[in-house]
């Protein structure tokens, strides 16, 4: 039996599909307001028996902020995948980010310890890592400097990891994954999946920054393989390749048969953009599409190494070009 949080999100939906398809019994936690549309789409993307497979999921309404409910739901010797998180780089979401990502993980860890689960897999983020020194790619060994300035989201994922390490110190069997920017079919109006729709609608600007990317199918596969292994007390970077944003946008545009973004937006123009949108949001009440953090990230050069999981699990990542091609095909299909 497997218990999953965050099952209605991009990673969670693919994870549930992979587990159910293997015949694993899945119980998944969802909030009363959660929409199952992404899960249903993912199942129909990959299976002709989607409706039958969907019936095999046991959905439970609840919240990771409710420790007593988690304590009641999580069972002894169970495998737990904790993928629930609140992803935002908007300063207005500060309290909610901290509450869901840190307090929620604290509750999951405590419930897992109390009920003596077989193993926990926590979905962290590359945002929780430090930076490789001397031009080296960031790896699992790069821990954050206490003085490092970052977004609230990044700090929350780092603090959530500390909760898992604390659980490990108290005897919990656990592993963590640190995915790069995840490419895959999900909610086309939010998260990384929104990149596809943004380019399709006619994105005008690109930046010269670089980042790491990984196929959502690889994230799910890595999590399952780690849980099936004897590995504990470890974390793993999941990044297929480092690409520039221009390379990414050009590749997406080609796959969608639309024009590539024609204009370069350097740090100065990006700075003007996020400040302007912030002021406009005060009048419109709408959240700005670009924030200080996202503007900074878009012009930064990040590189990540997945050598650890490649070596220890003989893991093979889907090439990023293939990920983009498959995802864009599904976007156009729907």
Residue boundaries of the structural domains of the chain: 2-183+213-240+303-318
At 90 the pLDDT is: 76
Q: Full-prediction pTM beyond 0.85?
A: yes
pLDDT per position as a tens digit, 56-88: 999 999 999 999 999 999 999 999 999 999 988
Mean predicted confidence (pLDDT) in 226-241: 98
Mean predicted confidence (pLDDT) in 163-180: 98
Quick one: what percent of the chain has pLDDT higher than 90?
72
At 242 the pLDDT is: 96
At 285 the pLDDT is: 53
Helix (H, G, I), strand (E, B) or coil at 135: coil
Does pLDDT of 206 surpass 90? no
What is the 8-class DSSP label of residue 278? H
At 278 the pLDDT is: 44
Per-residue confidence at 299, pLDDT binned at 50, 70, 90? low
At 295 the pLDDT is: 57
Q: How far apart are CA 151 and CA 148, in angstroms?
A: 10
User: 242 phi and psi, to 5 degrees?
Assistant: -100, 125
Q: In what order do the strands lie in the sheet with 210-215?
A: 181-183, 210-215, 241-244
Q: What is the distance in angstroms between the CA of the first residue and the CA of the last residue of the chain? A: 33
At 92 the pLDDT is: 78
Q: How far apart are CA 125 and CA 165, in angstroms?
A: 15
Mean predicted confidence (pLDDT) in 233-241: 98
Burial of 2 from C-beta contacts in 10 A (0-12 / 13-18 / 19+): buried
Helix (H, G, I), strand (E, B) or coil at 60: strand
Per-residue confidence at 282, pLDDT binned at 50, 70, 90? very low
pLDDT per position as a tens digit, 175-205: 999 999 999 999 998 888 988 998 999 988 8
Q: Which of 241, 280, 256, 275 is nearest to 195 (CA)?
A: 256
Does pLDDT of 312 surpass 70? yes
Residue 77 · residue 117 · CB < 8 Å: yes
At 291 the pLDDT is: 55
Max CA pair span of the chain: 56
Element (H, E) at 199: helix 194-200
Residue whose structure tokens are 């350097």: 266
At 281 the pLDDT is: 45
Per-residue confidence at 298, pLDDT binned at 50, 70, 90? low
Q: Which of 200, 194, 332, 173 is nearest to 261 (CA)?
A: 200
Helix (H, G, I), strand (E, B) or coil at 242: strand
CATH number of the 2-183+213-240+303-318 domain: 3.40.50.720
Q: How far apart are CA 82 and CA 7, in angstroms?
A: 9
Mean predicted confidence (pLDDT) in 279-301: 56
How do strand 210-215 and strand 241-244 relate by DSSP bridges?
antiparallel
Does pLDDT of 108 surpass 70? yes
What is the 8-class DSSP label of residue 138? B
Range in 106-120, 173-187, 272-286 the model is least confident about: 272-286
Q: How far apart are CA 110 and CA 321, in angstroms?
A: 40
Task: Rank 65-79, 123-137, 254-268 by mean pLDDT and report only the highest.
Answer: 65-79
Does pLDDT of 274 surpass 80? no
CB contact set of 197 (below 8 Å; sequence gap of 6+): 188, 189, 331
β-partners of residue 119 are 79
Per-residue confidence at 279, pLDDT binned at 50, 70, 90? very low
Residue 167 · residue 111 · CB < 8 Å: no
Q: Which of 284, 280, 227 is nearest to 81 (CA)?
A: 227
| Stronger pLDDT, 237 or 147, i.e. the higher one | 237
Mean predicted confidence (pLDDT) in 298-315: 91
CB contact set of 229 (below 8 Å; sequence gap of 6+): 313
Does pLDDT of 255 surpass 60? yes
At 131 the pLDDT is: 79
Residue 256 · residue 199 · CB < 8 Å: yes
At 133 the pLDDT is: 67
């Amino acid at each position: 039996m497997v218990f999953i949080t965050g099952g209605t999100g991009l990673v969670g939906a693919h994870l549930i599909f992979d587990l159910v398809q293997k015949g694993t019994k899945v119980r998944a936690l969802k909030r009363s307001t959660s929409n199952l549309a992404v899960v249903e789409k993912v199942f129909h993307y990959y299976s002709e028996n989607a409706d039958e497979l969907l019936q095999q999921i046991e959905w439970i309404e609840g919240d990771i902020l409710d420790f007593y409910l988690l304590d009641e739901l999580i069972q002894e010797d169970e495998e737990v995948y904790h993928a629930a998180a609140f992803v935002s780089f908007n300063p207005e979401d500060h309290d909610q980010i901290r509450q869901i990502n840190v307090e929620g993980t604290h509750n999951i860890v405590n419930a897992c310890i109390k009920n003596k689960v077989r193993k926990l897999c926590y979905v962290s983020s590359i945002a929780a890592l430090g930076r490789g020194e001397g031009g080296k790619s960031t790896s699992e060994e790069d821990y954050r400097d206490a003085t490092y300035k970052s977004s609230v989201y990044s700090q929350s994922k780092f603090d959530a990891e500390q909760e898992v390490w604390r659980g490990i110190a108290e005897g919990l069997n656990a592993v963590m994954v640190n995915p790069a920017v995840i490419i895959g079919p999900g909610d086309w109006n939010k998260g990384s999946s929104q990149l596809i729709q943004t380019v399709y609608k006619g994105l005008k600007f690109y930046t010269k920054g670089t980042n790491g990317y990984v196929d959502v199918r690889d994230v799910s596969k890595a999590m399952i393989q780690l849980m099936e292994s004897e590995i504990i007390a470890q974390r793993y970077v999941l990044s297929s390749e480092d690409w520039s944003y221009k390379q990414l946008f050009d590749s997406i545009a080609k796959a969608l048969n639309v024009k590539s973004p024609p204009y370069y937006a350097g740090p100065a123009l990006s700075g003007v953009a996020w400040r302007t949108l912030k002021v406009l949001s005060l009048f419109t009440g709408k959240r700005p599409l670009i924030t200080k953090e996202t503007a900074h990230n878009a012009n930064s050069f990040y590189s990540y190494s997945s050598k650890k999981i490649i070596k220890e699990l003989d893991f093979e990542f889907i090439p990023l070009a293939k990920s983009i091609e498959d995802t864009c095909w599904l976007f156009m299909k729907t």
